[in-house]
Structure 1
Amino acid sequence: MGLSAPSEGVGSSAPMQVGGSAPLIETDGLSIGYRSRAGVMMAVQRASVVVRPGESVALVGESGSGKSTFARAMLGLLPEKTGRIEAGRILIEGRDVTRYTTAQWETLRGHPIAMVFQDPLSFLNPVMRIGKQIAESVRRHDPSVRRVEPRVGELLERVRLPAACARAFPHELSGGMRQRVLLAIALGCRPRLLIADEPTTALDVTTQAEILSLLRDLRHELGDMAMLLISHDLGVVWHECERIYVMFRSCVVEEGVTREVLARPAHPYTAALVEAAQAARNAQGQFTTIEGEFSTAQD
């Protein structure tokens, strides 16, 4: 997918006017490590990221750069025995939640923050019908709803699924439909921030476009819902996100307005990512690859 600018009003996500609004979520020098007998492996180092209401923000980098670990930390989902915040803070709506207990984190999951994972079949209950799984989310996170069934139907319609899907089991749906179910479950929590972790991975090109269009429409319909998009697809990020953070070897090495960063990258790793994303073959007929090591410090 190329990085050319889209036609006006077609396939683009118009930036939300957030101005100087207070951050919805903010990390301050966040460092996360995984502990083992061999010692501590740092998965995220000194990451400072801000997402404000209504923004669409991207977190990009190659596999193993720390993107998903960072996202899981925003919901207190690090492995209990091995994952640990070594330094820094996580602030959600101004509250320092860094040392929250499991019970305290459960009050934040779903609302104000919900997450859509990249492999929906692994996160849906295989022996529970889709409608019941969506209803469970509504009952837990939206006590204002007295009759759950109409709300389930509304959510299915919002993610463009037929009402009959409520009676289906996860294995009876396609990958794209299962991804929409996860979106319906997340929206049932009325989140202020939706974290989408590689939401189009393993989907065909047509289904990818449908999911991205749905995410774009949902943001506009819901007004101030922010999105943190975890991705390695710079073409998707170019079209969908106003701001970008680039991760390399567990560190955020560059940040800024998406199109400015991708058009004029300041860090050599970002420049290499952009070049590799062009999908152009060299004189030998080979695709561009990223070779060697880059410093995590800004050059």
Structure 2
Amino acid sequence: MALLEVRNARLYYATTKGVVKALDGVSFELNEGETLAVVGETGSGKSTLAKLLVRVWERNVTLVDGEVHLEGREVLHMPEEEFRREIRWRKIAMVPQSSMNALNPVIKIGDQMIEPLLLQGTSKEEALKMAMDALEAVGLPRDTVNRYPHQLSGGMKQRVIIAMSIMAHPRIVILDEPTSALDVITQANIMNLLKKLKWEFKLSYIFITHDLALASELADAVTIMYAGKIVEIGGAEDIYQNPSHPYTQGLVSSVPTLRTDKTLSFIPGEVPSLITPPPGCRFHPRCPFYRDRDYLKGLCDAKEPPNAEIEGKSLRRHLVYCWLYK
């Protein structure tokens, strides 16, 4: 049984221009001890997926459909008080995007770290010990609890946020662009820290990123998202060596390398509006195969693509959602 299973998740945003179908029928599994990278460009629904899993979203957001099963237990429709007490931070924790700006500049680090635990009924003494233990685990002094955010570097702030995510010993940590806005050296240090913590704390990661090359450093499996949909999912080796969806192929071929015989490519066109997404496959207006192959007309532009299983080396099934394989 998978540690986490998401079924047909749909999360829509109400705006003045219309309803944004940010997450539209997403299903996947996360296995115990696995790092699953969720890769896609801006607007693909990656961060919305993170909000769904921790059940933190804005008032203009509506959960239209879906189920989330954690350790076999449905948690998406659990009463909020029960979810806050038993699941959030204790089972599923999150390192948010732009997390270095998530710290309140006028409150000490320790007070910010222990607040979620106090709300769950943990004593202040126990919560403070958990915070200091977590800081030590990420390579920061225990007395960091007495410092203010402005006294820390960018890399140290990121370590504080990571410490907050692990201090209640969750099963799953969601990493939403955890190295954005960091210099290359600090980025490498954070990636090494995440690898170390995964084994020390027996964590499973959902690693959200737009950077396919960065995902390769940490991921056991990769999910490719486009315009609110999953278009391909499989073991990391299978995705990198045998990308099967045209969008995934475009992402892989656009990753810079040191090879002089390879020309960088790009994906033409723009991400479609999620208020009025294209019918059928949402990638078809940008797809080179759709443009060149007449038999795909009336399929890609009219019907939701079915999933097809691709033979691969990984134990994880390699699935692609594309009419090319039917």
Q: TM-score range by the shorter chain?
A: 0.7 to 0.9
* Structure 2 residue aligned with 1:177: 156
1:137 deviates by 4.0
User: How far does the alpha carbon of each residue in 1:36-68 deviate from its partner, in whole angstroms, 9 at most, with x for none?
Assistant: 344322111211111122111110000110000
* Structure 2 residue aligned with 1:166: 145
SS of corresponding position for 2:216: helix
Amino acid at match of 1:171: H
Q: How does 1:209-224 map to 2 (within 5 A)?
A: 209-223=188-202
1:127 deviates by 1.2
Q: How does 1:257-272 map to 2 (within 5 A)?
A: 257-272=235-250
Quick one: structure 1 residues 193 and 144, their matched pair in 2 at CA, closer, same or farther if it must change by over 3 Å? farther
SS of corresponding position for 2:22: strand
SS of corresponding position for 1:254: strand
Of structures 1 and 2, the larger Rg is shown by: 2
Say if 2:114 and 2:124, in contact at 8 Å, map to a contact too: no
Amino acid at match of 1:168: R
1:117 deviates by 1.1
Which of 225, 228, 234 in structure 1 is aligned with 2:212?
A: 234
Aligned residues: 275
SS of corresponding position for 2:107: coil
* Structure 2 residue aligned with 1:255: 233
Amino acid at match of 1:87: D
Which of 55, 60, 63 in structure 2 is aligned with 1:76?
A: 55
Aligned equivalents of 2:133 and 2:58: distance in 1?
34
Say if 1:137 and 1:185, in contact at 8 Å, map to a contact too: no
Which is worse superposed, 169-178 or 108-117?
169-178
Say if 2:90 and 2:168, in contact at 8 Å, map to a contact too: yes
Amino acid at match of 2:48: T
Say if 2:255 and 2:264, in contact at 8 Å, map to a contact too: no
SS of corresponding position for 2:217: helix
Aligned equivalents of 1:172 and 1:288: distance in 2?
43
Which of 237, 253, 258 in structure 2 is aligned with 1:275?
A: 253
1:275 deviates by 1.1
1:149 deviates by 4.0
Quick one: structure 1 residues 230 and 198, their matched pair in 2 at CA, closer, same or farther if it must change by over 3 Å? same
**C-alpha root-mean-square deviation of aligned residues, in Å?**
2.4
Quick one: structure 1 residues 194 and 210, their matched pair in 2 at CA, closer, same or farther if it must change by over 3 Å? same
* Structure 2 residue aligned with 1:206: 185
SS of corresponding position for 2:89: coil
1:138 deviates by 4.4
Amino acid at match of 2:152: L
Matched, 1:112 2:98: no
Aligned equivalents of 2:154 and 2:15: distance in 1?
35
Aligned equivalents of 1:128 and 1:279: distance in 2?
44
SS of corresponding position for 2:254: helix
Aligned equivalents of 2:63 and 2:222: distance in 1?
23
- Provide the identity percentage: 34
Quick one: structure 1 residues 187 and 246, their matched pair in 2 at CA, closer, same or farther if it must change by over 3 Å? same
**If the length of structure 2 is used for normalisation, what is the TM-score?**
0.77
Query: Unmatched 5+ residue regions in structure 2?
Result: 270-285, 288-299, 306-321
* Structure 2 residue aligned with 1:127: 106
1:112 deviates by 0.4
Query: Unmatched 5+ residue regions in structure 1?
Result: 1-21
Quick one: structure 1 residues 147 and 65, their matched pair in 2 at CA, closer, same or farther if it must change by over 3 Å? closer
Aligned equivalents of 1:103 and 1:151: distance in 2?
22
Matched, 1:291 2:268: yes
Aligned equivalents of 2:153 and 2:146: distance in 1?
15
Aligned equivalents of 1:42 and 1:282: distance in 2?
41
* Structure 2 residue aligned with 1:92: 70
Say if 1:32 and 1:42, in contact at 8 Å, map to a contact too: yes
Amino acid at match of 2:229: C
SS of corresponding position for 2:66: strand
Amino acid at match of 2:210: H
**If the length of structure 1 is used for normalisation, what is the TM-score?**
0.84
* Structure 2 residue aligned with 1:67: 46
Say if 1:59 and 1:231, in contact at 8 Å, map to a contact too: yes
Which is worse superposed, 106-115 or 144-153?
144-153
Structure having greater relative contact order (Cα 8 Å, sep ≥ 6): 1
